[in-house]
Structures are given as C-alpha cells and as structure tokens.
Amino acid sequence: MGEPEEIRRAKLAEDIESLDRPYCPKSKGRFNNTDHRTELNGVEQLIVRRGQPFTINLHLRSGEYQPGGSALDLTVETGNCPSDQYGTRASFGLIDQIDTSRWSAAVTSPPGDMVSLSICSPPDAPIGRWRLTLGQGGLVEFVLLYNPWCTGDVVYMDSEEKLTEYVLAQDGIIYRGSWKYLIPTPWNFGQFEDGILEACLRILEMNPKCLRNPGKDASGRKNPIYVSRVLSAMVNCNDDKGVLLGRWTDDYDGGVSPLSWKGSVEILRNWDTNACQPVRFGQCWVFAAVACSVSRALGIPCRVVTNYNSAHDTNSNLVIERYVDENGQLVQKSKDMIWNYHCWVENWMTRPDLKPGYDGWQAMDPTPQEKSEGVYCCGPIPLKAIKEGELTYKYDAPFVFAEVNADVHTFMKREDGSTEKIISSVQVGLKISTKSVGSDRREDITHLYKYPEGSDEEREAFTKANHQNKLLKQQTNAGLLIAIKVSAEMKKGCDFDVFAVVMNNTPNGKKCRLVFGSRAVSYNGILGENCGFKDLLNVELAPGEEKRVPLRMNYSKYAENLTEDNLIRLAALLLDYGTREAYLAVRNVVLENPEIKVRILGEPKENRKLVAEITLQNPLPVPLQNCCFTVEGSNLTGGQIITEKLNSTVEPGQDAKVKIYFTPTHSGQRKLVVDFDSNKLGHVKGYRNVIIGK
C-alpha cells in the first residue's frame, strides 16, 4: 500500500538539498534572464516577465525523483499584505504541463537527482517583488515585469522592431527648440543600468496609494493604467516623495539646471540613495524622459513625444487669452500660456475600461501643471480620444485636447486700461514629434492627435468637444498682412538680421505705425529682457505694396539676456491709423549652438578600452573659461558619468578638445551622450552612435 499523498509531498519538499542560484538555472541552454529579455539588468537577481515560464533546478538528496510519484506545494506572494482575493498570493501544486493562464508549475526534466521545475505566472499578475516558497524546501525571490511579448498581456505589442525601440532601447532622442527649428537632443534612458530597476520598484512602493493601502496597491499593479497614473504622479514631487522638483526660473540654487542632465540614471540613483528626497531640478523633457525610463524598466512600451506651440489651458474653456501692450510685448494677465514646446510620454496598452477602439498609445504627462483627482498627474488618455474629441474619456482628456487644439485670442491692453482684440494668427499643436523606430530620424505623429485642419472629421471632433470657438472661426481676408522672416543662419555668437514684412492688400494707400521688438524668452513662454527694438511711426504702404523692415540682433545686446533655452521672441505689431485695427505677428527663434564632434579611436568591441576624441569650436567673440565635457552612455561608461575639465581658456575660434577613455560592456549600437559647459556657452549637447562588436 502506497504512502499517503501528504507524506509524499512532505518528502519531496524535505528531499530538496539545494536550489541552483535562481538567476542562473539554464532553460534550454540559456539563462532565465536572457529568455525573458532582462539579461541587461545583470544576473544578481531573477527578473522575469509575466505569462512566460521560468526554470528553477532542485537538487535532491535521494536522487529518486519519479514523475507522478512526488508532489510539491508552491506558494507565491507579493506586497506587505498578500491575499488570494487581491491576486497577490497564490498556492498551487505540480501539474503535467504548464498553464500560462494561471500560476502553475511542472517538472520538465527526466527522472534523477536534479529536478528542473518550470513555473509560470498568469499574464495579468501584479508586477513587482515576489517570493516563491517551495513547501519546506526553500525560498526564491524574484521580480515580475510586464510582458509586451506575451499575447495575453494588456501591454502586448506585435512588432519586434517596435519592442526593441520602445522597451529595450536604452537611449533615444528628445525634440526641443521651436516648431520652425527642431533640436534633436540625445538622452540616456539607462533603464537596465545597475540599481535602476530597484529605484523604479521603490517609486511604486513610495507612492501614497501604497502607503495608505499596500494590499490594494499591490493588486492594482496588475493594471498598467493604474501604474501609469502612479508614475505620472510620482515622477514629480508635488504631492508625494516623488523623484523630481520642477523649476522654471534661472535660479537653480540647491540643485542643477535641468539642461545639465544627459540621462535618467543619475537622477533615479540620486533619488533612491538620498532617502527619496526630490532631485533638483527638472523641466518637461526631464520629467518625460525619467517617466520613459521607468515605464520601459517595468516592461511598458513607452516613447517621449514633443508638442510644439503647446497650450496650457488653466480654466478648461479651450481658449488661450493673451494680452500685449502697445509695443506688442506680452503682458502676463492670464495664467493661460503657450509653451514653445512641451514633452510628455505615450505608454502602450489596451483600455478594457473604455469602449472598443481605444487601445494602443496613451498620453501620460508627469510634468506638474494641473491637478487630476486632487493630485498633480495627467493621463493616461488614448490618443484616439483626443483625436475624436471624446473629452469624457479617462483620464484628463480636456487638458490634453487643449494642449493640441486650443484657440488663441490676442488682446491689446492700452495705457488707458482699455482692451481690444487684435488680428493675430497663432496655431497650437504643431509638429508633434518622436524618434523613429530603429533610426535617429524624426517621426511626425500629429495625425495621431488631430485630423487635417478644415476637414469634416476635424469639425466633427470639435463638435463632440464643444469647441465652439474653432467651429465659429471664419477665415478673414485681412487688408493688411504682417509676418516675420529670419536669416538663414542664426548662430549663437553672431550678429544677424530679422525682418518684419508688411503688405497692403487693399486698393487704398495705408499709413501705419510698426513696432518691432525682441526679448529673451524661456521655452515655457516666460519673457526676459529686451534684445533689440524699433518703433516706426510713419510706415506708408501703397496699394499692393510690400515692405521689409530689418531689425539687427547684436550679440553684444542679446548675450547677457538669453536664457539657457537660446530663445528670442520676435513681435511685430502693425497699427492702421485709418481703421485703428491692430495686426500682430509673433515668432520665436532658436540660436544655434556649435556642433560637438566625436571621433572614436580604436575598434569598438566588448570589454576593450576605447578612446573618444571630443571637439567643440568656440563660436563666440569672447573667450570661454571653466570648460567641461561630461559623457555617459548605457553599457559604455559603466553606468557612470565621465567628466573632463580643461585648465586653459579657449579663445574665439579655437577648439576645446579632450580625450575620454571608456570600456563597453555589451555589444550592439549605443549612444555616447556628450554635454559641454562653460562660463559663456552652456550645456551644448552632442552624441555619437557607437556599434560595439562582440
């Protein structure tokens, strides 16, 4: 007569002499972490993806394991308050074959003294730190991530090329500048660098929802909608122990300029190692880049996007009201603003909480702008909901819709206190951009947010969104036209001309006043000091005549007024003495930084020291002092930032040149990201793609 079942179970648990270290048991000849595409995290811990089996090897004392003759109880738990009801705890035994729809385990090895145990989680299991107990036989700790390679996971993406870009790529391009002059800026996401996954998990554990109700929060992590919303709140520190503190002035005391960052690694490490104190300081592209690093680390496909002429609508009326004085310069009377550009992220997932058709990319914005459900966060909201004008869909559709669709009304505030509307053509939501899959080219994704202007579909979306201002807007053929034209090259350090072009389309002669001014401006629309001004009281225009009025921009005048954004706001105001109508043209120009040249010396191979020769020519008419190059790159610089300072002054036209040594640790294409800083020329960015051989 055979032994009772419970005795056989106890015997197998007691028979386990040892476990292979959980990160290195081989599955079909490969490491678990390699099978689960987490090997770049290293081999110090077991990191697996949900809905996909992993293997543990058990070494038995008896050497007598027989299929069907032994059993084993397994228990998995996550969080501080594990519960079967919340899906944060499960108990299960051995079955003949793995069931990928639930927690299951099966023996995959032949009889002998070593048992290969294949274990699988369901594709909707909560992500995070898990503990696996093998009866009395041992404990295995592992990290479970989302699995966009698994068809049953709600973050599933069916393109290997896109998965390589949106989950595995550790570097990328973020677009800054202006819609007329887009600046591709390199960024080191570094989601697989040492300690970064730990920091990402700590972000989840420090979020207020987890601190209030850890059991419910751990269960919520099965849902990427919930996790994206948590990340949107936790990347900023406005309501919690979040990662970054924002600062939109030139005062960076107690921290560093947002432009000094080259990647997310230093930011996340600083936060994690300094008791979750916020890192100082961030602006929109930094918030977005850090959110992208965390999303990719957790397994959610993610990309950073930039919206040019981005509206910040504070009162939800889909109208941005701007006031100018009689010189055409902005007067800050309204909290509504138009940012030169604004960055957020898109996360990829299905939306079972909405009606069919709204799966795919979801906009999520971690920059603290307006509160959502009492917290500074925004999204996720399907791009399709924005495009279709579905403003009742979760989350925060009205705010994102306004960012890309708001109408702009401009008023002149006269000295006597009166205001009048002026004719001005300003569009928001232009050239929405992200890095292309598999290359450094820009992909324009405006069509994912908006229908073509003037189309029937656009009108239908505006009707749904109750966007009456856009629906009622009529194209008026103004009698006078004004525009701003610029020189072909506007390099920082040079003098150059900009032009106000005025044209009389009426059959009558016109007598006008033209005010043409320029001021430094930050990327989020905050005005600085005057960089040049011209006031012409008597501009006469014959019927059909066009005049071109230059304004000289001198380095000696703009140099000390520029912000780090290198932006100058040009405003040309034309006043018709006859009709008293006012016409305004506004344009932001970006002054071009010099190019950083990077030359790689030697053959790039794994674990072989390389030299990068880095050069920048001083374009300014003044010497540069305190010159410093900093360099980083995932799997290139050992997870560290390399700094090289120049002891000498760099005269006008001379080169600042350094050599930097580094040793790549993994094969494949990587970005070496470079920042140059000095007393007069700050935070110039550059990069070089390096293909590392095995």
Q: Which of 36, 276, 292, 342 is catalytic?
A: 342
Q: Is 407 annotated for ligand binding?
A: yes
Q: Is 321 annotated for ligand binding?
A: no
Task: Beginning with the edge strand found earlier in the chain, give each strand of the sheet holding 510-521 in spatial order.
Answer: 423-424, 582-590, 567-576, 510-521, 527-541
The DSSP H or E segment spanning 383 is: helix 383-388
Q: Which of 210, 284, 343, 531 is catalytic?
A: 284
Which residues, 6 or more positions from 600, have their beta carbon under 8 angstroms from its beta carbon? 610, 611, 612, 613, 672, 688, 690
Which residues, 6 or more positions from 253, have their beta carbon under 8 angstroms from its beta carbon? none
**How many Å apart are CA 203 and CA 223, to the nearest integer?**
16
343 flagged as catalytic = no
Question: 553 pairs with which residues across the strands?
Answer: 496
Tell me the Cα Rg of the chain.
30
DSSP class of residue 472? H
In the block, which residue shows the tokens 């000289």? Answer: 552
Residue 357 falls in which region: left (phi positive, over 0), alpha (psi -120 to 50) or beta? left
Instruction: Pick the closest to residue 683 from 609, 616, 585 (CA basis).
Output: 616
**Residue 300 CB-density burial (10 A; 0-12 exposed, 13-18 middle, 19+ buried):** buried
CB-hemisphere CA count at 13 Å for 69?
8
Instruction: Pick the closest to residue 166 from 435, 448, 445 (CA basis).
Output: 435
Q: Is 603 annotated for ligand binding?
A: no
Cβ atoms of 342 and 286 closer than 8 Å? no
Q: Is 477 annotated for ligand binding?
A: no
113 flagged as catalytic = no
666 flagged as catalytic = no
Cβ atoms of 139 and 58 closer than 8 Å? no
Cβ atoms of 307 and 493 closer than 8 Å? no
Q: Which of 365, 396, 576, 677 is catalytic?
A: 365
DSSP class of residue 277? P
Residue numbers in the known binding site for Ca(2+) are: 405, 407, 453, 458
Active site residues: 284, 342, 365
Residue numbers in the known binding site are: 405, 407, 453, 458
